[in-house]
Amino acid sequence: MRLFHSPASPFVRKVMVTLIETGMAGRVTLINTATTPMAPDAGLIGSNPLGKIPALELDSGEVIVDSRVICRWIDAQTNDGAGAGLYGPAGQEWPLLTLEAMADGVLDAAVLMVYEWRMRPEERRHAPWVEGQWSKIARALDAIDSRWMHHLEAPLNIGQIAMGAVLGYLDFRHPDRQWRAAHPHLAAWEADFSTRPSMQQTAPVVV
């Protein structure tokens, strides 16, 4: 299998952590990919017309996107198809899928903030729009810190993997926002979760 990959992408990190935690990382070849809305990677768009990473090309040639679907697919490959259990018991996966969706929404906002500053000429950057994105992130972190911690303090699940990628990305790209200050439960959880070998091996790298 081939994974369109960048060591800076938090969505790719979700997939990499899931591969490592399920023992499947050795089955995947990483394809180093640099892609932006204005300069989509030529090798990628044939597989994912959206021009986004991660995209997973199976040995059959079939391509799976996006990170949410890829992680679900990886989970389903283990234990003779019974799954790795990252989504909880069958029929009860909705809270964990919701937590993952919320984490992905935070990542979308955090990545858009980076793009606004990196890809727009200075005179066209719109600070209120950036602050609107940060407000989404802050509200989601508030909700997770106050109402979702029991899902994070449970056996390993997809919500934890997604939140690990979120908090690592906020440290990587938005350290000035100091997310820990108003989110003590998440801060304590992250201090522990980030010591997992799968998290250490996938720490973001500037490209």
Least separation, in Å, of the C-beta of 119 and ligand GSH?
10
- Site residues for ligand GSH per CB under 6 A: 9, 11, 35-37, 40, 51-54, 66-68, 104, 111
**Cis peptide bond prior to 192, omega within 30° of 0:** no
Q: Which residues contact 35 (CB under 8 A, 6 or more apart)?
A: 4, 6, 41, 44, 51, 52, 53
Is residue 113 classed as helix, strand or coil in its secondary structure? helix
Least separation, in Å, of the C-beta of 98 and ligand GSH?
15
Least separation, in Å, of the C-beta of 149 and ligand GSH?
23
Q: State how far the Cα of 152 lies from the Cα of 28, in Å rounded to an integer.
A: 27
Which CB sits closer to ligand GSH, 55 or 81? 55
Nearest to 26 by CA among 63, 1, 44, 62: 1
Alpha helices in the chain (DSSP H): 10-21, 42-45, 67-77, 94-119, 127-147, 149-152, 158-173, 184-193, 197-200
Which CB sits closer to ligand GSH, 126 or 153? 126
Least separation, in Å, of the C-beta of 55 and ligand GSH?
8
Which CB sits closer to ligand GSH, 9 or 47? 9
| Exposure b/e, 126-156, CB count within 10 A at least 16 = b | eeeebeebeebbbebbeebbeebeebbeeeb
Least separation, in Å, of the C-beta of 146 and ligand GSH?
25
Which CB sits closer to ligand GSH, 95 or 105? 105
Least separation, in Å, of the C-beta of 18 and ligand GSH?
12
Which CB sits closer to ligand GSH, 13 or 183? 13
Which CB sits closer to ligand GSH, 111 or 130? 111
Is residue 126 classed as helix, strand or coil in its secondary structure? coil
